[in-house]
């Protein structure tokens, strides 16, 4: 499987993190004998159409530097979409280009987490991981991190003491308990409050 992010054409799930102006792969998980044409994605992709060879295959693509992100949709011929919820599209916020991600195995943050802003839990494992005990800095205390990205958000005023969380089953393979390797950068509100304290 390529290290570059990919979009599953059957359910819209993103593995990895899509980024503005960066490559990704269209991924067809179905082992069939039919090539798949991806069409009408030119509002957010570098090309308007792509072809995935027959069988379980990948096709290289790229996100525009300034895409129309509402929605990240496309058309498939033949249509292999199985997820429901309308036509083929990147599922929820989890694939939004440019959204920071937090790796549940290492705590490494791709991008910059900011107070009050969305981010993705990135789960590189092949099965779901439950993220718990992060309510002191996240919008929710628990998240179900499926393989790939799961949408989340940092509290507007997070408790910065630890930025820790727990996982079940535990995917963490870095020293110590699960924690963010690069804590969020303060938002505008936090910076204004800090200047008030100094004055």
Render 86-114 in DSSP notation, one character per residue: SSSB--TGGG-TT--EEETTT-PEES--B
Mean of the pLDDT values across residues 67-78? 67
Q: Is residue 148 part of a domain?
A: yes
Task: Decide if pLDDT at 60 tops 90.
Answer: yes
Report how many domains make up the chain.
Answer: 2
Question: How far is it, in rounded angstroms, from Cα 90 to Cα 106?
Answer: 25
Q: Are residues 122 and 170 in the same domain?
A: yes
Q: How confident is the model at residue 194 (pLDDT cuts 50, 70, 90)?
A: very low
Decide which of 49 and 192 is more confident. 49
Rg of the Cα trace of the chain?
18
**Within this chain, do residues 124 and 189 fall inside the same structural domain, yes or no?**
yes
CATH code for position 21? 2.60.40
pLDDT value for 55: 87
pTM of the model: 0.46
Q: Is residue 199 part of a domain?
A: no
Residue 63, SS3 per DSSP: strand
On whether the CB atoms of residues 109 and 102 are closer than 8 A, the answer is yes
Question: Of the candidates 139, 137, 135, 134, which has an alpha carbon nearest to the alpha carbon of residue 166?
Answer: 134
Q: Cα separation of 17 and 15, whole Å?
A: 7
């Amino acid at each position: 499987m390529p290290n570059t992010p990919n979009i599953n054409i059957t359910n819209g799930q993103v593995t990895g993190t899509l980024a503005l102006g960066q490559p990704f792969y269209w991924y067809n998980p179905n082992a069939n004998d039919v090539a798949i044409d991806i069409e009408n994605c030119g509002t957010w992709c570098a090309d308007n159409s792509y072809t995935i060879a027959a069988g379980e295959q990948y096709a290289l693509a790229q996100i525009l530097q300034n895409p129309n992100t509402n929605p990240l949709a496309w058309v498939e011929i033949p249509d292999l979409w199985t997820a429901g919820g309308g036509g083929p599209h990147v599922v929820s916020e989890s694939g939004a280009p440019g959204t920071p991600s937090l790796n549940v195995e290492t705590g490494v943050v791709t991008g910059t987490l900011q107070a009050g802003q969305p981010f993705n839990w990135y789960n590189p494992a092949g099965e779901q991981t439950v993220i718990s005990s992060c309510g002191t800095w996240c919008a929710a205390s628990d998240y179900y991190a499926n393989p790939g990205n799961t949408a989340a958000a940092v509290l507007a005023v997070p408790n910065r003491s630890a930025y820790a969380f727990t996982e079940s089953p535990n995917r963490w393979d870095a020293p110590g308990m699960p924690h963010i390797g690069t804590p969020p950068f303060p938002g505008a509100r936090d910076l204004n409050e800090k200047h008030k304290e100094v004055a």
